[in-house]
Amino acid sequence: MPILEAKDLTYTYSIGSPFEKTAVDHINLQIEQGEFVGIIGHTGSGKSTLMQMMNGLLKPTSGTVLLDGKDIWEKGADRRAVRFQVGLVFQYPEYQLFEETVYKDIAFGPKNMGLDEKEIDRRVRETAEAVGLREELLEKAPYALSGGQKRRVAIAGVMAMEPRVLILDEPTAGLDPKGRTKILSQLREYHKRTGCTVMLVSHSMEDVAKYVSKLLVLSHAKVVCYDTPANVFARGDELEQMGLALPQITRVFRLLRERGITFPEEVYTVPFGAELLRAKLEGRAPQC
């Protein structure tokens, strides 16, 4: 049974006004437990609306969301409990920090869950470590931290609820390359360690390609495909038509194909591409 399922999910903004717009249009989707899902689509493709419906923040216009096969909108369902199970990190989450200390801010979610002090303390310290925040930072005021650190505090605040599904809306937006790599590799670690499901919304094909096991492509409020990165990037022309830029490495290999150098596999990371080329040049089978 999938952990999270969208059933004929639809959301329409400003119904009945001249600004009426369907942001999510009859989407059906099944997310399996333990998957690392990348979500791509241009602005206005419905990514953010879909994410907010997945944890019950937005009520679908029609259709519904199932968590562990249970309808989160059925009568008497506890939506607040759903939000603890499906953690959502918004874009630029550092702007939501409000407590006096980093510790208290990370503890906000667990506290709302009604956990005891000891459990809260364990969670705060564990997640702070998971996002690479040193112990002594915990007693500092959030505003005294650097931009990248604040971002990681905010992510830790959601992780500390120990959700079974962690959704992040562009967690690397506005950071420098080092900050981006840091957050993404910490996410990978977190995913490996906890085995929980991670959904990552991103504009960067390069980043998504490196980390995820499945890719969800949205366009004009509908699902274009939900598949492995290799299968998705194999439909490169379609993606480009949707205004989604392919990773540059994929473009190199598409250009090579035009020049008569072909590989059976779709290439979307640099080390893999280099290995394929070396194998070809050395007349051996690629090792991956």
Partner 1 sequence: MLKDITLGQYFPMDSVVHRMDARYKIIITMVFLVMLFWGQHLTSLLAGLLFVAVAMICSKIPPKMLLKSIKPIVPVLVITGVLNLFLLSGGKVLWEWKFIKLTEQGVQTSVFMLVRICLLIAGTSLLTYTTSPIVLTDAIESLLSPLKKLKMPVHELAMMMTIALRFIPTLIEETDKIMAAQKARGADMESGSLIQRAQALVPILIPLFVSAFRRAEELALAMECRCYHGGEGRTRLRQLKSGLRDYVALGLTLLLFAAVITLNTVLH
Partner 2 sequence: MEKLITIENAHFSYPAAEENAEPTEVLKGISLEFEHGELVAVLGHNGSGKSTLAKLLNAILLPTEGTVTVAGMDTKNEEKLLEIRQHVGMVFQNPDNQIVATIVEEDVAFGLENLGVPTDEMRARVDQALHAVGMYEFRGHAPHQLSGGQKQRVAIAGIIAMRPDCIVLDEPTAMLDPQGRKEVMRTIKLLNRDYGITVILITHEMDEAAQCDRVIVIDHGTVHMDDKPEKVFSHVQEMRDLGLDVPQPTELCELLRQAGYDLDPEIMTPEAAADAIAKLVQSQSS
Buried b or exposed e, range 4-32, using 16+ CB within 10 angstroms: bbbbebbbbeeeeeeeeebbbbebebebe
Which of these ranges, 39-47, 60-68, 92-100, 199-207, lies near partner 1 under the rule CB under 8 A? Answer: 92-100
96 binds partner 2 (CB under 8 A): no
As a whole number of Å, the CA-based R_g of the chain is 20
43 binds partner 1 (CB under 8 A): no
DSSP track, 212-276: -SEEEEEETTEEEEEE-HHHHHTTHHHHHHTTPPPPHHHHHHHHHHHTT---SS---SHHHHHHH
112 binds partner 1 (CB under 8 A): yes
Q: Which does 277 bind (CB under 5 to 8 A by kind): partner 1, partner 2, none?
A: partner 2
Among 252, 232, 254, residue whose Cα is nearest residue 242:
232
Q: How far is the CB of 239 from partner 1 (least distance, A)?
A: 29
Q: Which two tokens stand for residue 278?
A: 């070396």
103 binds partner 1 (CB under 8 A): no
Nearer to partner 1, 46 or 109 (CB): 109
User: Scanning the structure block, which residue is given the tokens 């072909």?
Assistant: 262
57 binds partner 1 (CB under 8 A): yes
Q: Which helix (H) or strand (E) holds 139?
A: none
Rounded to 10 deg, the angle between the 270-282 and 248-258 helix axes is 30
Q: How far is the CB of 284 from partner 1 (least distance, A)?
A: 50
Which of these ranges, 29-37, 156-164, 247-255, 268-276, lies near partner 1 under the rule CB under 8 A? Answer: 156-164
Per-residue x/- marks for partner 2, 116-145, CB under 8 A? ------------------------------
Residue 180: what residue type?
R
Which of these ranges, 67-75, 82-90, 144-152, 210-218, lies near partner 1 under the rule CB under 8 A? Answer: 82-90
How many of the chain's residues bind partner 1 (CB under 8 A)? 23
Residues that bind partner 1 in the complex, under the rule CB under 8 A: 52, 55, 57, 80, 83-84, 87-90, 93, 95-98, 108-109, 112-113, 143, 157-158, 161
